[in-house]
Amino acid sequence: MTITCIIKYEIDPYQKDAFEDYARNWNEAIPRCGADLIGYYAPHEGSATLAYGIYNIDDLAAYEAYRARLSADPLGRANYEFSRERKFIRREDRTFLRRVTGNNGGGLIK
């Protein structure tokens, strides 16, 4: 069963460009390290501080192996350091979900 990791970020609204650079770097590193990146989403309208990163992974064991590869990846390490140096991420929370419907929704009433 595939699970989806949704990372909710609270970012510095004055460093949105730095967050977008950070997100673009993950576009290369995340797939290379074994997860299926759905995308990163930066503020556009409404909240100026809320952003998301979303990817799929096979299971929690695969997630742990992926995180180890990402930590060892040169771009992954550089991106983590970039976020620490610039401090544009104020908070991040990860949630793991499983899909229960297809793209068209649907379901049966029992």
What residue has token string 């699970």? 3
Given a contact cutoff of 8 angstroms between Cβ atoms, the answer to whether 94 and 37 are in contact is: no
Q: Are strands 50-57 and 89-98 parallel, antiparallel or unpaired?
A: unpaired
The CB density around residue 23, as the number of other CB atoms within 10 Å, is: 19
Please indicate whether residue 103 or residue 95 has the higher confidence score (pLDDT). 95
Q: What pLDDT does 5 receive? A: 97
Q: What pLDDT does 77 receive? A: 96
Segment 27-86, tens digit of pLDDT: 999 999 999 999 999 999 888 999 999 999 999 999 999 999 999 999 999 999 999 999
Q: Rounded to whole angstroms, how far apart are CA atoms 29 and 79?
A: 9
Q: What pLDDT does 56 receive? A: 97
Strand, helix or coil for residue 92: strand
Question: Which pTM does this prediction carry?
Answer: 0.87
The two three-digit tokens of residue 3, written as one number:
């699970």
